[in-house]
Structure 1
Amino acid sequence: MKYLKTLTSFALLVSLLLSCTTKAQNSNNNTKKTGKMNTKNQEIVNVALMYIKDGEEARFEEYKKKGSSILEKYGGKIERIIKPKMLVKGELEMPDEIHFASYPSIEVFNKFNEDPEFIQIRNEYAIPALKDISIFTSKNTDFEFKKEVGDKSKTYGVALIYFNDGEKYEKQFEAYHDEVCTIMPEFGTHFERFIAPFQSKGSIKQPNEIHRFYFDSMEGLQQMGTDERMQALFPKRDASLKNLYFFIGEASL
């Protein structure tokens, strides 16, 4: 994988990438009110930042294999595993893996986590293999025509987003997202998920939103960063965010 030569120019893009998903989030809320479009409002997405102990990689791989087999019995699945290669925004120890698991409903999610066989596998494999883990249980907030699906050949981005307090900051984000969303497709940026956590466990504070997207090429992303239209939008973005962790990595699933 080829990464940007400078992290500074890349970091400038982060908030702009997020703005289109914010637009879709708002559109989704309006959709629920008007009933013009169906949403997957029952789906739950669990996001886990995994920190694996040195020498315990094989044990953790066994946990993933056995755990996902049980998950499938409940109609759930591990939909994406991303191995971060760099943290381009924020200050945080970089996890070894970021897992996205989906469940048909919160009831299924709870039943899976209470399954005796899964508890045994978790205790035997996951707990001894991990030095730390942060988990965010999230509601699905996207809808079909906004969602695109990449593959293992793509470069992925995962953003944990923390907004400043106050409605005015969300409106500030909305003020320029229309322009951004018309530019980004030219450079091969695609969104897979944007979800809203409602509970969390672990040392990392619960974000307001989590976004996942992929890029057709890092070259295209770099070109987008130097585009004059994008450069003109950079000054509008920072004030709306309290904090942001942004990872770039490869997909192993």
Structure 2
Amino acid sequence: MKNLKILTHFTLLVSLLISCSIKAQNSTINIKKTDIMDTKNQEIVNVALMYIKDGEESRFEKYKKKGGAILEKYGGKIERIIKPTMLAEGEMEMPDEIHFASYPSIEAFNQFNEDPEFIKIRNEYAIPALKDISIFTSKNTNFEFKKEVGDTSKTYGVALIYFNEGEKYIKQFEDYHDEVCAIMPEFGTHFERFIAPFQSKGNIERPDEIHRFYFDSMEGLQQMGTDERMQALFPKRDASLKNLYFFIGEASL
């Protein structure tokens, strides 16, 4: 019963955690693949949900090490690796790892993926080690927020967000946006990334936005879920989302 109660708190909190991105949604909800031209000279963040074959963990670790070294040649880096421990919302097979890799530009992103040495490493290590992968190539939203950087001691949340179509849903978020964002810092919630995918590969539908955040403590997260002010906001958001996948996990990087 205790675990069920915690899971319920996670589920209730998800939409509130993501609602602080509303000021960015006007420009990102309907992003299409053709918007790739708008990413010139902008930072690119690649998000990959990795499903590793049993017994191939060692091979995959070699891929991360060798591929990461080549990535740095192009000014990129693997900025965060989350290992999910719970799928708190949605229904899908939980990935073994979620990777966030950043690139200084779409040009650097393309050059890296076309690098002959990287292609060789990918074919030798990644492809044999993975049973499945979904990739979302993303750009930053225009939402202004205080970006904070956690570490491997923190608990992380990753949300794949799918909005219902229609301006009324954006307005619905706006109605309580300021209230939510004023409350959450009291409970130690910190935001690292608000990004909008513009192209994808794999079986998982491309989300409208992906958010990454971390918590100072699980106790703070649970307390936020029972806060009366937060509880009063839950009904306002329920009809706004078409779908949502929310992972809780630990960072290995």
**Same fold (TM > 0.5):** yes
Equivalent residues in 2 for 1:102-121 (5 A)? 102-121=102-121
- Checking the alignment, whether the CA contact within 8 Å between 1:4 and 1:218 is kept in structure 2 is no
Distance 2:105 2:95 in 1: 27
For 2:142 and 2:21, how far apart are their aligned partners in 1? Answer: 9
8 A contact 2:81–2:100 mirrored in 1: yes
Q: Structure 1: 5+ residue runs without aligned partners?
A: 30-39
Across the aligned residues of Structure 1 and Structure 2, the Cα RMSD in angstroms comes to 2.0
Q: Find the counterpart in structure 1 of residue 37 from structure 2.
A: none
What does residue 177 of structure 1 align with?
177
Change over 3 Å in CA distance of 1:183–1:232 after alignment to 2:
same
Residues 69 and 250 of structure 1: CA distance in aligned 2, closer, same or farther (over 3 Å):
same
8 Å CA contact 2:155–2:215 kept in 1: the answer is yes
Alignment of 1:131-150 (within 5 A): 131-141=131-141, 146-150=146-150
Give the Cα–Cα distance (whole angstroms) in 1 for the partners of residues 25 and 133 of structure 2: 30
Residues 86-137 of structure 1, C-alpha deviations (whole Å, 9 max, x = no match)? 0000001000000000000000100000000000000000000000000000
The alignment's TM-score, normalised by the length of structure 1, stands at: 0.91
In 2, distance between residues paired with 1:51 and 1:142? 31
Identity %: 86
Residues 148-186 of structure 1: CA distance to partner in whole angstroms, max 9, x if unpaired? 111110000000000001122112111111100110000
Does the Cα contact within 8 Å between 1:20 and 1:177 map onto a contact in 2? yes
Return the alpha-carbon distance in structure 1 between the equivalents of residues 167 and 115 of structure 2: 41
Q: Please give the alpha-carbon distance, in whole angstroms, between the structure 1 residues aligned to 2:25 and 2:47.
A: 22
Alignment of 1:29-68 (within 5 A): 42-68=42-68
Residue type at the aligned position of 1:84 = P
CA distance in 2, matches of 1:248, 1:98: 11
1:238 matched residue in structure 2: 238
Compute the displacement of 1:28 (Å).
Answer: 9.0
Under a length normalisation based on structure 2, what TM-score does the superposition of the two structures give? 0.91
Alignment of 1:89-100 (within 5 A): 89-100=89-100
C-alpha distance in 2, partners of 1:107/1:152? 30
2:152 equivalent in structure 1: 152
Q: Where does structure 2 lack aligned partners over 5 or more consecutive residues?
A: 29-39
Distance in 1 (CA, whole Å) between partners of 2:191 and 2:153 is: 15
CA distance in 2, matches of 1:58, 1:171: 48
CA separation in 2, counterparts of 1:63 and 1:4?
37
What is the distance in 2 between the residues matched to 1:9 and 1:144?
27
| Moved >4 Å (runs of 4+) | 26-29, 142-145
Partner of 1:124: 124
